[in-house]
Structure 1
Amino acid sequence: MTPSVAHDHSPLLTVRGLARTIGLRKLFAIDRLVIPRATAIVLTGMNGAGKTTLLRMLAGLEPAPGASAQWTDAHGQAHDAPLSPLPPALRQRIAYLHQHPYLFRTSVRENIAYGLHARGMPRDEIARRVGEALGWAGVSHLQDTAPEYLSGGEIQRVALARAKVLEPELLLLDEPTSSLDGHAREQVIGLVGDLAAEGRTVVMICHDRELINLPGVVRWKLGDGVLDTHHP
């Protein structure tokens, strides 16, 4: 699916009733969360505030009982459905990248192709997309390499390519540079900037000042059970 165009000002996704309680503690309660199109968003907050839980709920990786999602499809048709389980139409539009990505015990090329095979895409289209993603992430020379021989930065770039190749409209990234330093960190920051510049919506948990200060980045802050989407 191609990225949403920047001049479409309708929300990419609206989620209502998003809440999580752990024991007697209310982690967060968000009545209405509007995720805009073509926007790079940094989600900050103290450790334990629930940032990862929030992203995983949006990605359908954790249950979100009582929450609902509203969105408009490529044909302009409005949809309203429970967020959990994540509707297939949304699953096709969202990609989630774990802080420590897991790669399958096969080649880099097959890792990137995995989601396309799962969607039943023709082999020639898979080959084209994977080739482009390998080049974009700067890992073409590693395409036949097994994950255990990759550095931390290379694993992160392969994981970003595996997400990008699915052409999601919403990318949810959990601390994409947290375990990296030096040149590896700079490479990943560049790729995240590319994704945002393409017109995709990127929501990333992050404390990296360089990512936070990328041009046009919007800052959200989660704390004391409240999500502030107008944080300076």
Structure 2
Amino acid sequence: MSELLSIERLCKRFGERELFNIDRLFIHQAAAYVLTGLNGAGKSTLLRVLAGLEQADAQRVSFLGKDASLSPYCRAMREAVVYVHQHPVMFSTSVAHNIAYGLEARGMPKAEIARLVEEAMQWAGVEHLRDSKPLTLSGGEKQRIALARAKVLSPKLLLLDEPTSNLDGAAREQVISLIPSLVRGGSSVIMACHDRDLIALPGVQRLKLREGRLQMRQQRVRAA
């Protein structure tokens, strides 16, 4: 399995307080990970650091085998990494426009955008909501739309912060069912969560933040 991202000596401090100091973090291509730890351990902060939304110190960063950085100005990573917040921000337009936003920002042709958005809506099961306003949507619908908005960008690394929190049973299961297809599509996925069903997904590897250190454990793949 090829390595997507490798970071050595990753340290995050808030003033004199050290939140975490990770000797080495490595992520493989087209692989799924759950990031666990107690509240306040730094899970969300680590995702934001990987997304270039927060600063941290790193001795060395390698992305797809080339030297990189966690700076928001590192183009190679910024175009390949997508972060989905626990409470996704929606523009007060239509569902279709929300999904299309990132593609429009990249200057993609309108016909190609329309095709990709249609495919993403079908994948997420939200095509019937294409003209709906975000204010009318449930939490589960917003999360699926946020995943569709991320998927159309074909990210190499997708960072999900508590993707199933505060969702009811049916909505939670719908979101969980989308994760394996993201990995099959070639994305690596890191999910900060406490959800036991996400943690137990077949083939998922576990990253655990504990007392500022990162522990990594690969789970056995369950038979189908």
Same fold (TM over 0.5): yes
Question: Unmatched 5+ residue regions in structure 1?
Answer: 1-8, 73-77
Is structure 2 residue 49 aligned with structure 1 residue 57?
yes
Aligned to 2:15: 23
C-alpha deviation, 1:82, in angstroms: 2.7
Q: Does the residue aligned with 2:177 lie in a helix, a strand or coil?
A: helix
| Cα distance change on mapping 1:46 and 1:93 into 2, 3 Å | same
Aligned 8 A contact 1:71 1:79 in 2: yes
Aligned to 1:4: none
* Aligned counterparts, 1:1-232, within 5 A: 9-72=1-64, 78-230=65-217
Tell me how far apart the structure 1 counterparts of residues 170 and 46 of structure 2 sit (CA, whole Å).
30
| Cα distance change on mapping 1:113 and 1:67 into 2, 3 Å | farther
C-alpha deviation, 1:157, in angstroms: 0.5
Aligned 8 A contact 2:68 2:76 in 1: no
Q: Percent identity?
A: 59
C-alpha deviation, 1:172, in angstroms: 0.5
Tell me how far apart the structure 2 counterparts of residues 202 and 85 of structure 1 sit (CA, whole Å).
20
C-alpha deviation, 1:67, in angstroms: 5.0
Of 61-70 and 220-229, more deviation after overlay is shown by 61-70
Aligned 8 A contact 1:169 1:200 in 2: yes
AA aligned to 1:29 is: N
Runs of 4+ with deviation above 4 angstroms = none
AA aligned to 2:70 is: L
Number of aligned pairs? 219
Aligned 8 A contact 2:13 2:56 in 1: no
AA aligned to 2:174 is: Q
Aligned 8 A contact 2:41 2:210 in 1: yes
Aligned 8 A contact 2:7 2:58 in 1: no
The superposition leaves residues 13-51 of structure 1 with CA deviations (integer Å, 9 ceiling, x where unpaired) of 112232111233211011321111111101100000000
Aligned to 1:6: none
Aligned 8 A contact 1:57 1:63 in 2: yes
C-alpha deviation, 1:86, in angstroms: 4.5
Q: Does the residue aligned with 1:12 lie in a helix, a strand or coil?
A: strand
Aligned 8 A contact 1:221 1:231 in 2: no
Tell me how far apart the structure 1 counterparts of residues 73 and 44 of structure 2 sit (CA, whole Å).
17
Of 137-146 and 80-89, more deviation after overlay is shown by 80-89
Of 60-69 and 39-48, more deviation after overlay is shown by 60-69
Q: Does the residue aligned with 1:57 lie in a helix, a strand or coil?
A: helix
